[in-house]
Structure 1
């Protein structure tokens, strides 16, 4: 018996990574593409939040942050147009009751 086995648990912790649900990565890429022509610290923070979102519901809730970034860089009308164009992608991964347009 090694010295390590005296303080290690009998069944070591196993990481369990879950793959995102089907379609989530496609929606994530669409949200990121909305920010392609935006730059700055706040936009980079939104991108990071999009990359770390684990489910479609989180991405849906991040629409506001994406909207704010686009409206700051361009205009509110452009932000509304871009966010509303994302709704068809969300229809594939979210229940209809969660979908509302800006």
Structure 2
């Protein structure tokens, strides 16, 4: 499913928006998280577990940011969440190939 698909524009997006507006404020993040997983499950099934893992990593990183005034337990820091995201991105993102060798002019 893409963002321009009729299924998304006419059914999925309105249903998600209505659900977020009607539910209590404390439930909105959960609704958006579930909707995100469902959206990506339709379009890219191979990355759903990765998405769920990164959501969990970012949640823990957000908790670590909240612990800034007190020492974070277990040595967590907000930089570790960012490093995890960038490390995962470096594994799945296409990287431009560097030239194999350069010829030196004499």
Greater relative contact order structure (CA < 8 Å, 6+ sep) = 1
The TM-score, its normalising length taken from structure 2, stands at: 0.32
- Select the structure that is richer in helix: 2
